[in-house]
Structure 1
Amino acid sequence: MKLGIVPVTPFEQNCSILVCQNTGDAAIVDPGGDIDKILDGVKQMGGNVKKILLTHGHLDHCAAAQELSEQLHVPIEGPQIEERFWIDQLPEQAVRFGFGHAKAFEPTRWLNNGDHVQVGDVDFEVFHCPGHTPGHVVFFDKEDKLALVGDVLFAGSIGRTDFPRGNHADLINAIKTKLWPLGDDVQFVPGHGPMSTFGQERKTNPYVGDGV
């Protein structure tokens, strides 16, 4: 699988482009905005977009999802249904934060813990990891040892839990019981900032490291 990362929106959110090297099928993960920039990234990677995947319903991760879905005629998969709380607020939030227009939407498929999504021949297992938001999900490619974690975990930090329906204890529990068991050698793409590995965060992260 090929991975591309396109920073989008004023929040510099990591929109990921995944391309199956066997089939050329592609997925766009967390398109928060800057559609032309995202599509240029897809073109450079040579992928044929088949779906949009969402980790959670915050504006910078999904404000462009519905427009992009309509433009490309592809389904939206994820997040977990508890994110309807955030997705329904997209039009209001877009105005509030200067994102222009954003459409509320109903994903083609809500996802739950243990579900799987396919991008060509690549299989991603879904982990429901609440805390930052109630319906946040993580996508994990076991073969490539790659996780797309949204705003659950960052290099040297963790997601904020001071939003409505955030829960710090739930977030810590999700990281330690669902992500760490996947292996120290797993690389992850966070919603913002540089990539890291679960092993590195277990050693050095001041919030969820093994020494905390």
Structure 2
Amino acid sequence: MNYQIIPVTPFEQNCSLLWCDKTRRGAVVDPGGDLSRILRAVDAKQIVLEKILVTHGHIDHAGGVAELAQKLSLPIEGPHREDQFWIDGMPSQSKMFGFPNVRAFSPDRWLAQGDQVTVGERVFSVLHCPGHTPGHVVFFDQPARLAIVGDVLFQGSIGRTDFPKGDYSTLITSIREQLFPLGDDVTFIPGHGPISTFGAERRYNPFCGD
């Protein structure tokens, strides 16, 4: 599995471009905005996009989903249905945070714990990891030892839990019971900031480490 991180929006959100090297087919994870930047990366890598994956319904992660899906006729997979209220509220989020003309959307497939999504011939396991939002999901490519965790976990920090239906103890449980057991060697792409490994966070993260 190959990936490129594309920071988008004033929040510097890590949109991820994933692609299968064998098929050159790919997916965009969390296209929050700046679609021209994302599409330039797709063209530069000569990737055929086949879907959009969404970790959760906050605007910096999902603000460009409706436009990109319509522009390229791409299906949308994710997040978990518990984040529907965030997605339905996308227009009000756009007014609150100054994003222009952001539309709500209806995922073609809501995701749940134990589901799988494909990118070319690669298969990602879906983990439902609430706490930052109630419907947050994580994508895990077991053979590649790679996880895309959105705003669940960061290098040296964790996702905020002061948004509607956020919960600190639920988030810590998601990290310790869902993510850390995947293995210390797993590299993860967070929603903001640099990549890290679960092992490094388990040892040194002051919020959720050992």
Q: Given the two structures, how large is their TM-score scaled by the length of structure 2? A: 0.99
Shift of residue 42 of structure 1? 1.0
Q: CA deviation at 1:25?
A: 0.6
The Cα of 1:83 is off from its aligned counterpart by 0.5
Q: Residues 157-179 of structure 1: CA distance to partner in whole angstroms, max 9, x if unpaired?
A: 00000001001111000100010
Give the 4+ runs in structure 1 shifted more than 3 A.
Answer: none
1:88-167 correspondence runs (5 A) = 88-167=88-167
How far apart are the structure 2 equivalents of 1:47 and 1:178?
31
Query: 1:52-85 CA distances to partner (integer Å, 9 max, x unpaired)?
Result: 0000000000011011001111100000000001
CA deviations over 1:82-135 (Å, ceiling 9, x no partner): 000100110111122111011111100000000000001100000000000000
TM-score, length basis structure 1: 0.98
> Structure 1: 5+ residue runs without aligned partners?
none
* Residues 141-192 of structure 1, C-alpha deviations (whole Å, 9 max, x = no match): 0010000000000000000000010011110001000101100000000000
Amino acid at match of 1:147: A
Q: Is the 1:19–1:45 contact (alpha carbons within 8 Å) kept by the matching residues of 2? A: no
Percent identity, please: 59
Q: Displacement, 1:46?
A: 1.7
In the aligned structure 1, how far is the partner of 2:175 from the partner of 2:95? 32
Matched residue, 2:39: 39
Q: CA RMSD in A?
A: 0.5
Instruction: Tell me the secondary structure at the aligned position of residue 130 of structure 1.
Output: coil
Query: Within 1, Cα distance between the matches of 2:33 and 2:116?
Result: 26
What SS does structure 2 have at the residue aligned with 1:140? Answer: strand
Which moves more between the two structures, 86-95 or 75-84?
Answer: 86-95
Paired residue type of 1:42: V
